[in-house]
Structure 1
Amino acid sequence: MIKAIIFDLGGVLIDWNPRLLYRKIFSNEEQITYFLDNVCTPDWNEEQDAGRSLADGTELLVKQHPDHEANIRAFYGRWTEMLGGEIKGTVELFNQLRNDERYKLYALTNWSAETFVSAEQEYPFLKQFDGVVVSGVEKTRKPHPEFYNILLNRYNLKADETVFIDDNLRNVKAAVDLGIDGIQFTSAEDLKRELKERAIL
């Protein structure tokens, strides 16, 4: 019996996309792709998600790519411009589940502790979870097993009584390896179908 539903945030409940910012800076998608694949890479960003300070991460990259200094500094200097708003359909499902007394709702997110403060101010529903575990606070991140276990242990959850929703298949597979039922998020419509198949909705 499922008792807890764990949500990823970026890409599931909140539209976070660096391209929203860099479309204002670069003239075409090819330039953006090169920059995000070779300069401000996902691996670099995840180090800040895992606890490295934004300042340290930025200065490290500026030293490596001085010709991109302004664009690198924009990544966190204009970070809020990467937020495209809440993903309405998923937030509606979240609210529906929040009103169902059978379930507790949690968030497990790879997110810098420094930028998460801004997100909490922008999206009030983030304060409506029964618990939120942020990688930047815990100094570890998905897909590392210890990060999932922090949430399970902190809130006395059993893996086989939880469902985890994430848009990143890597993170879903890591949850499944721990005995958690995993759903890869692709759209609110598909998520609704998955939840209905599990008799959660």
Structure 2
Amino acid sequence: MPRGQLLYQPWKKIQYIYFPETSVISTVTMLENGSGVESGIIGREGVLGASIIFAKDVSASEAVIQLDGEGLRMEALTFKDIFEENKDFRKMILFYVYAFIVQISQNAVCLCYHHLEKRLARWLLMLDDRSDGNKLFLTQDFIAQMLGVHRPSISKNANKLQNLELISYNRGSIKILDRDGLEKLACECYKVINNAFSGYTNSKCFNSFPRQTIYE
């Protein structure tokens, strides 16, 4: 799953459900003028396209590969059949959808009320949670689009984090140097979102139903 690959377009039919393994996906809410802002991040803990369980087979947002890596996909109709027939799978997906709704809701309030420096720290932590290693290959233009700001604002705040020795940034590569320090700087939204997903990944339904099962 290469970085930049477009998986879903707004209000287009969902044909496949995606399960990231080492890749990370961003869902982006778009406006008519072509601008947009990230509404959610999906990594190995999650699934893209679970909204079809609500009887809607179209995507309300754009979905793009943010960090390249491996992933699995399933035909949407097969996913719906398994969801309806398998109780354990259904419980797992519903728990995940709840956690993802928490993420979307918290992202909305974060965008309105929190300083960009804290939002950037929270965003980097969420990516780090869902990726392997501590290097993130991202351009400032891409980060600016995801956070709904202009590129100079990202440059200014990334430099702040670098001066605090929390990250190093060079030619589209961000390395987290001090994760504990980054967590202290991040807004409260990181803990709220992390708690929701920790409840999901530590749940009995998640651990008793490895995703590989649905491909056997």
- With normalisation by structure 1, the TM-score equals 0.27
- Higher percent of residues as helix: 1
TM-score, normalised relative to structure 2: 0.26
Instruction: Give the strand-richer structure, 1 or 2.
Output: 2
